[in-house]
Structure 1
Amino acid sequence: MRGRQHGYGPPGPSRANVTDLVLLAAGGTGGHLFPAEALAAALIRRGMTVDLATDARAARYAGHFPARELHVLPADTVRGRSPVALARTGFALASGLVSSLRLLRRVKPAVVVGFGGYPTVPPLLAAALSGVPSLIHEANGVMGRANRMLAGRVSAIATGFPGLAKADPALAVKAVWTGNPLRPAAIAAAATPYDPPQPGGALRVLVFGGSQGARVMSDVVPEAVERLDAALRARLVLVQQAREEDLARVRDTYARLGVTAEVAPFFDDLPARMARAHLVIARSGAGTVAELSAIGRPSILVPLPHALDQDQAANARTLADVEAALVLRQVEFDPDRLALELHSFASEPMSLTRMADRARSQGVLDAAERLGDLVRHLADGGAVATFRGNRA
């Protein structure tokens, strides 16, 4: 991270010294920060300057973000419906809005871009109030609550999946499908062709559950492996993400079964591991679906069941609809069902190859460049209709 962190601190450099500054707003998780980082790199290649506005939680993970400055703003998520919880959230967002208005007056961005989550609400509202062109990127197959709140106020809406806003004509006129920007490691991994499992050879399976892991994977996958016949267990080469509290029992199960397995709470080279896998078992966050598509790998997807917007279910359907993934609701994802599916895939490796090809057909490797083109167009004073016309 270059430059200084700013919340309520002293004024930074004069805007007169910065040309085409773009303020990116992202927070919360890697699902927001990864696409913002990919866009930042695309904008810097265009000679533009990037600042990042986020909350204190995400700031801890933004150390390598290629921004001139990091601005930490007050923000909070709606955590309950009680008067106290709503008042706390309202106060944090109001404080964030005041700080964002001050920030925009100081750095004078050409465009403000938000990547979803409540930390993006104050900077985007400040842009609308200040007359600064603004853009939200919606990574998921359905629009999240924060982006729904902002959609009517921004200049443009970029979408990770096509047709997202078609049901609302007022939003559809400013929506542009760009795809989901990919981190460089995913683009590099996409160059690896799919190498299907050979009869009787190793079957490489990658299991993960999002940036924080998912307990259901630790509960279900080892028990499913135990139900496989000994010959298939001997072929398995497993790489599995597990939470710290689940590590010992997952490792112990695989050791007892004699299964080759690497189990860890986090893998910092996940796209490369995805490229080496014959089959991926995972949640269906927007970033995961985008990387599975770009790299072209067959998958068993288990959408997060309790999400208010059911965004992961919508994301998973995009691959299921082209028969690139098997989607199981969490209530269906039990050891018996998973063992059955693993046995089926191992018996028919050509089905995995077909799924890999169909997944790759959905990949958008240049999403960051497409989004960068839209940001550049807005910075130059262009309208969304003109941009869409130029691309038609």
Structure 2
Amino acid sequence: MTDAPLILLAAGGTGGHLFPAEALGVALMKRGWRVRLVTDARALKYSGLFSREMIDVVPSETFRGSNPIAIARTAITLGTGTGVAMNLMWRLKPAAVVGFGGYPTLPPLVAAKLFGVPTIIHDSNAVMGRTNRLLSGRVSAIATSLPGVLDRDPELSKKTTTTGTPMRPAILAAAAVPYLAPDLTGPLRLLVVGGSQGARIMSDIVPDAIERLEPALWSRLVLTQQVRDEDMARVRAVYDKLKIRVELESFFGDLPARLASSQLVISRSGAGTVAELGAIGRPSILVPLPGALDQDQFANAGVLVDAGGAIRIAQNEFTPDRLASEISALAAEPARLTAMAVGARAVGKLDAAERLADLVAKVAKI
């Protein structure tokens, strides 16, 4: 195996970046290639394909705000990280480096460019992220999850391939589970998640919305909700009062299986979440994270909305009354839920990892 090509996968330390990297890693290893992950220290807490021996931690930092001292400190950290990454290029001699976004990808992609190593970036969002935008003019090839992301830039569009978002084996297994809509008297399985860090807005709004539902619907609900530890007691108190069948956790390690068993999902609309909802084919109510400069979550949600697979609610409109109204209407129309599941599934690309692996092979000339 020491003669097999080595591909370095560079990703920020959150699930939205790590999971596509893991999926590509699985596809590359099936082809007999070697892979290593270059990332920041946050990734060390994630389990999955990459054991500790397969991870190289490179110093990195995110630019935040306009404070000159903070900007200088971040620049120094990224410069240090680039030095560490250059040592990795010299020592490991990879056939290619693939970046999945986040500032931790800057040092390894810049180092690869300096060493003449072929480079690829993958972007899962409907609007390209800031780090990938910085790198886009310098890399050998660009992969996007969605078509048309770079249509307004002919130079970048020429080297862009639409591959979809690579899916982990657990998502592919969940995608094989057919959607079963609730009947009008049976259980309604509702999953509420808020991204890798949880979301306080879900704890603030969802319990009050559930309380506003007709009591007949309380007895039908089978609710699973991601709740931050600091919000757990107050959320549980509401559901206990209503006698809702509920499971509350701050993190679900088996989220793909829970998505597959759900009949309706309430969530943020990060790129990974939207891609997984499409791959598995589950109807959703999506609440984009507000305040982002490029409004990427709003655009991501729009992909499922346009396909008929989701309802998008801006956070300033995400009230208990509005959410209760949407849940009640969907619970009363199982056929609509089924149609939304079909619409979401039409967006999913289950062969995205293989498509991206083909691009890697082409760029690396393997």
Common fold by TM > 0.5:
yes
Opposite residue 224 of structure 1, the aligned amino acid is A
Opposite residue 11 of structure 2, the aligned amino acid is A
2:178 alignment partner, SS class? coil
Q: Work out the CA distance in 1 between the residues paired with 2:94 and 2:248.
A: 44
Which residue pairs with 2:196 in the alignment? 211
Cα shift readout 1:144-186 (whole Å, capped 9, x = no counterpart): 1110000000000010111111111111001100000111111
Which residue pairs with 1:379 in the alignment? 364
Aligned match of 1:239 in 219, 224, 237?
224
Q: Give 1:323 deviation, angstroms.
A: 1.4
Which residue pairs with 1:303 in the alignment? 288
Which residue pairs with 1:227 in the alignment? 212
Q: Is the 8 A contact 1:114 1:135 kept in 2?
A: yes
1:124-139 equivalent positions in 2, closer than 5 A? 124-139=109-124
Q: Work out the CA distance in 2 between the residues paired with 1:242 and 1:152.
A: 40
Q: Work out the CA distance in 2 between the residues paired with 1:227 and 1:17.
A: 61
Q: Work out the CA distance in 2 between the residues paired with 1:189 and 1:364.
A: 13
1:1-392 equivalent positions in 2, closer than 5 A? 17-61=2-46, 64-65=49-50, 69-380=54-365
Q: Give 1:63 deviation, angstroms.
A: 6.6
1:85 alignment partner, SS class? helix
Cα shift readout 1:239-274 (whole Å, capped 9, x = no counterpart): 000000011111110010111111111111111111
2:73 alignment partner, SS class? helix
Unaligned runs of 5+ in 1: 1-15, 382-392
Q: Is the 8 A contact 2:22 2:49 kept in 1?
A: no
Deviates more, 1:305-314 or 1:33-42: 305-314
Unaligned runs of 5+ in 2: none
Q: Work out the CA distance in 2 between the residues paired with 1:154 and 1:165.
A: 14
Q: 1:46 to 1:33 in 2, by over 3 A?
A: same
Cα shift readout 1:327-349 (whole Å, capped 9, x = no counterpart): 00001110000011111011111
Q: Is the 8 A contact 2:269 2:289 kept in 1?
A: yes
Q: 1:66 to 1:169 in 2, by over 3 A?
A: farther
Q: 1:43 to 1:64 in 2, by over 3 A?
A: closer
Q: Work out the CA distance in 2 between the residues paired with 1:63 and 1:95.
A: 28
1:361 alignment partner, SS class? helix
Q: Is the 8 A contact 2:26 2:49 kept in 1?
A: no
Q: Percent identity?
A: 60
Q: Work out the CA distance in 2 between the residues paired with 1:17 and 1:328.
A: 51
Q: Work out the CA distance in 1 between the residues paired with 2:97 and 2:88.
A: 11
Q: Work out the CA distance in 1 between the residues paired with 2:124 and 2:52.
A: 21
Q: 1:21 to 1:141 in 2, by over 3 A?
A: same
Q: Work out the CA distance in 2 between the residues paired with 1:18 and 1:80.
A: 45
Q: Give 1:310 deviation, angstroms.
A: 1.2
Opposite residue 247 of structure 2, the aligned amino acid is E
Opposite residue 365 of structure 1, the aligned amino acid is L
2:125 alignment partner, SS class? coil
Count of aligned positions: 366
Q: Work out the CA distance in 2 between the residues paired with 1:122 and 1:102.
A: 11
Q: Work out the CA distance in 1 between the residues paired with 2:184 and 2:252.
A: 29
Q: Work out the CA distance in 1 between the residues paired with 2:289 and 2:240.
A: 29
TM normalised by structure 2 equals 0.97
Q: After the TM superposition, which parts of structure 1 deviate over 2 Å for at least 4 consecutive aligned residues?
A: 16-19, 57-64, 66-69
Cα shift readout 1:295-340 (whole Å, capped 9, x = no counterpart): 1110000000122221111110000011110000001110000011
Q: Is the 8 A contact 1:52 1:67 kept in 2?
A: no
Opposite residue 76 of structure 2, the aligned amino acid is F
Q: 1:238 to 1:63 in 2, by over 3 A?
A: closer
Deviates more, 1:57-66 or 1:83-92: 57-66
Q: Over aligned residues, Cα RMSD in angstroms?
A: 1.4
Cα shift readout 1:106-153 (whole Å, capped 9, x = no counterpart): 111100010100000011111112111000000111111110000000
Q: Is the 8 A contact 1:213 1:241 kept in 2?
A: yes
Q: Is the 8 A contact 2:307 2:346 kept in 1?
A: no
